[in-house]
Structure 1
Amino acid sequence: MKKLIYSLLFCLLTISSYSQNGVATYSFLLAKNGMNEKIDSLTKKDTGSNKTEALSLLKGIFQSNTESFEFQLKFNQDNSLFSFQEKMDIDNENGIKTTLLKSMSSSNKKYYYNRKSKEIYNQTVLLGETYLIKSSSDSLQWNLTNESQVIKGYTCFKAVTYKKRYNLSGTISKDKVVAWYAPSIPLTYGPYNFVGLPGLVIEVYEKNKMITLTKLEFIEKEQTITPLTKGIKTTEANLLKDARKYMRQN
């Protein structure tokens, strides 16, 4: 734990030297069917002396997938915006696969995060309507561990949480989320709603999904990030309830 504390202290000492404006690009990868148990075993807390090998095997599962989607995280000192980046050259020969990846990656959603208020706004397009879901970064109770790993050239620490998932069946599940964040990049931002950690999130594993940083650019000029305000205000539970009602009627 001392290793983690020292890293966080270093983060506080160097925060003023970092540009607070920039763009991070993430890739979304989807593992093949039937790999959930293997992924779960490789993301367990105690990987012992084989943690480097375990992470390498984990990456191999996802890298065997031939297609990925890109997302962009824009940020300034106070806010961030995470959204899907549409590619004009996506191979649409396999339309079913492309549609599945878009659905699994939540490409129809945008996430706005206010660092000071800890508010998260998720703008979702569903059945031709735009919805706005408000939550807080405190809703994800991260367990910070002392386990570290060098990823993309950054010394990262492992954080674990369990995220509620509202299913179309009406049930509620809890999905394990493993995030690797870099205290040397003193930004509390990350992909989707995986924010609030003491360092930029470099990589995330959630069930059979992987989100990984591919590019990070800092800019000197202050960039304006407009809050998400458009949409019918609702909750995730009510949105799924409306979707179930629509499916029964059609």
Structure 2
Amino acid sequence: MNKIIITIALVIVSFTSFAQDFQGMAVYESKTSTAEFKSRMEGNKDITPEMQKMFEERMKSMFEKTFVLNFDKNASIYKEEEKLDAPGTQGGGNMRMMTSSFLGGGGTQYKNIKEKIFTIDKEMMGKEFLIQDTLPKLDWKMSQETKEIGGYMCFKATAKQKASQSDFRNFRMKKQEENKGKKEATEKPKSTGLMASDGEIPKEIEVVAWYTPEIPVSNGPENYFGLPGLILEVSAGKTTLLCSKIVMNVKDKKEIKAPTNGKVVTQKEYDEIVTKKMEELKEMNQSQGRNGNGGMQMRMGR
């Protein structure tokens, strides 16, 4: 514990040396585990090896992203880095835009750690929303465990977080009951989509963060903040965000201000809107299945 106290004291001293116009930039690589989806596909005899390969490539493009965090002492802008579609991937851009809002990307995320507020602009199925709310405060448990990330000494902190019901990165399959018969166990899976009827988003997830007091900014990717140093890595549920590049005192400073376009809603209201839309799509898919036209609820495009 003494090691943590000393590093926090160094952070307080370092804060005073920061210029008023200080600004930094950090790049984060995001990866979300897709093991459950791959396992589900392997159990579906209707999916050919070619279809599975295409599906895995699309899953990789959706679940592996790059984000840029531009920050000063009090606020930050966090945004997904735009990528060009590979040759021959028709509709890839539209698919990415459609799913990005559900998979931790899309829009600009403004965070003010001094005022404890955030603003995110999201586009969902042609409609623009502006989510404005207070930052969720996590009860961080500090640890003396350390590791090095990109040349920076980092300390470990853990917390429990309420899972957003509009973030489908945390989607998981429900466990099958042990007493189910063999016939039921060998039935063709109902779907391979992100909104399978036998899946759910947990109410709570575990968060493991690694922060460095060497960069005395109480900020990090997404809505993570509140630690005595910049968060360079965070694992939340099935997703890991790892910092791959840091630039301090950048010359090309970005304007750090909140986005303004879209219908203003709270995070709870936005989650309810997304949940309702997902239920509508799920019912539509189930109806198609009863009519013999079943398929993935969230198509991967052509």
Q: Shared fold by TM > 0.5? A: yes
Residue aligning to 1:224 = 255
Q: Does 1:72 align with 2:68?
A: yes
Where does residue 81 of structure 1 map in the other structure? Answer: 77
Look up the match of 1:160: 158
- Looking at structure 2, the residues matched to 109 and 143 of structure 1 have their Cα atoms a distance apart, in angstroms, of 31
Distance in 2 (alpha carbons) for counterparts of 1:224 and 1:120: 16
Partner amino acid, structure 2, of 1:23: M
- What TM-score does the superposition give when structure 2 sets the normalisation length? 0.63
The whole-number CA distance in structure 1 between the counterparts of 2:104 and 2:233 is 17
Letter in 2 for 1:3: K
Range 134-143 or range 185-194, more displaced: 134-143
User: What is the identity, as a one-letter code, of the residue corresponding to 1:210?
Assistant: T
Deviations 1:2-22 (A, max 9, x none): 111101111111223446312
Any idea what SS the aligned residue of 1:73 has? strand
Question: Residue 15 and residue 243 in structure 1: after superposition, are their counterparts in 2 closer, same or farther (change >3 A)?
Answer: closer
On the 8 A contact 2:165/2:275 being kept in 1, the answer is no
Distance 1:106 1:77 in 2: 24
CA displacement at 1:170 relative to structure 2:
9.2
Q: Which amino acid aligns with 2:123?
A: V
Q: Which runs of 5+ in 2 are unaligned?
A: 38-58, 167-198, 285-302
| CA deviations over 1:38-88 (Å, ceiling 9, x no partner) | xxxxxxxxxxxxxxxxxxxxxxxxxxx976321010112332000101112
Matching residue within 179, 186, 204 for 2:209:
179
Shift of 1:92: 7.0
- Larger strand proportion of the pair: 1
1:248 to 260, 280, 283: 280
Cα distance change on mapping 1:142 and 1:122 into 2, 3 Å: farther
**RMSD across aligned C-alpha pairs, in angstroms?**
3.2
Size of the aligned set, in residue pairs, is 220
SS at match of 2:163: strand
Query: In the TM superposition, what whole-angstrom CA distance separates every residue of 1:133-184 from its partner, at most 9, and x where no partner exists?
Result: 2333353222222222222211111111222124379976101111100011
**Percentage identity across aligned positions?**
27
Whether the 8 Å CA contact 2:32–2:240 is kept in 1: the answer is yes
Q: Secondary structure at the match of 2:222?
A: coil
Is the contact made by 1:142 and 1:161 (CA closer than 8 Å) also made in structure 2? yes
Q: 1:201 to 1:21 in 2, by over 3 A?
A: same
Post-superposition shift, 1:102? 4.4
**How far apart, in 2, do the equivalents of 1:25 and 1:205 lie?**
16
Q: How does 1:1-250 map to 2 (within 5 A)?
A: 1-18=1-18, 20-34=22-36, 68-88=64-84, 93=89, 99=96, 102=100, 105-137=103-135, 139-167=137-165, 173-219=203-249, 223-246=254-277, 247-248=279-280
Are 1:21 and 1:219, in contact at CA under 8 Å, matched by a contact in 2? yes
Q: In structure 2, how many angstroms separate the alpha carbons of the residues matched to 1:104 and 1:163?
A: 18
Unmatched tracts of structure 1, length 5 or more: 36-64
Per the alignment, do residues 191 and 90 of structure 1 end up closer, same or farther by CA in structure 2, a change over 3 Å counting?
farther
After superposition, give the CA deviation of every residue in 1:64-117 in whole Å (9 maximum; x if it has no partner). Answer: x9763210101123320001011125577596xx85984664221432111321
**Aligned equivalents of 1:91, 1:15: Cα separation in 2:** 47
